[in-house]
Amino acid sequence: MRGSSLRSACNVNLNGVRDIKEMVFYRTPYPESRILMLDNYFPILMFIFVGLAVGVLPIMLGSGLSRLLGVHRPNSEKLSPYECGFEAFEDARMKFDVRYYLVAILFILFDLEIAFLFPWAVVLQEIGFFGFMAMAVFLGILTIGFIYEWMKGALEWE
């Protein structure tokens, strides 16, 4: 009994549409519009194709032209690793000290602080005292974090 009610629910007539497949792929539920529903996705498809063309075509053209027009004579000197005029003496995948990453993260943090200060300074007259206090709280939290890092010795490089 349940199966028959489900079957009859799927065959409901929506403005002449007898099947879900017909409604999705061939026309919209509106009888006056007989265009494909996929036409709505054409701009997105074109955006993807143009993006791929802009990214891939210069690489292919450059490598193809260099192979056609350039002289290709590899030897041991040309294929050897070059680093500042001397041979590499360590593995390129060596471990870095954690403090290096910590200093990099701190730089990004305080660089973002400056990125927030410029627009705030431009609209300070419009946002008034509330905007001033919000930025004071923001800068206060950052200052407390900076003092905490300083006291822990995170900024000292040995």
pLDDT in tens, 31-58: 555 555 667 788 899 999 999 999 999 9
Helix (H) or strand (E) holding 89, with range, is none
119 inside domain: yes
45 inside domain: no
Yes or no: say if 139 and 132 are a contact pair by the CB < 8 Å rule: no
83 inside domain: no
Higher pLDDT, 102 or 91: 102
Closest alpha carbon to 152 in 97, 106, 112: 106
Query: How far is residue 37's CA from residue 104's CA, in Å, rounded to a whole number?
Result: 49
Look up the domain containing 13 and give its range.
Answer: 2-35
88 inside domain: no
What domain count does the chain have? 2
92 inside domain: no
Q: What pLDDT was estimated at residue 6?
A: 45
21 inside domain: yes
12 inside domain: yes
* 39 contact partners, CB below 8 Å, separation of at least 6: none
Q: What integer best gives the mean pLDDT of the chain?
A: 76
Residue 29 has pLDDT above 80, yes or no: no
102 inside domain: yes
Segments in 70-123 forming alpha helices (H): 76-79, 98-122
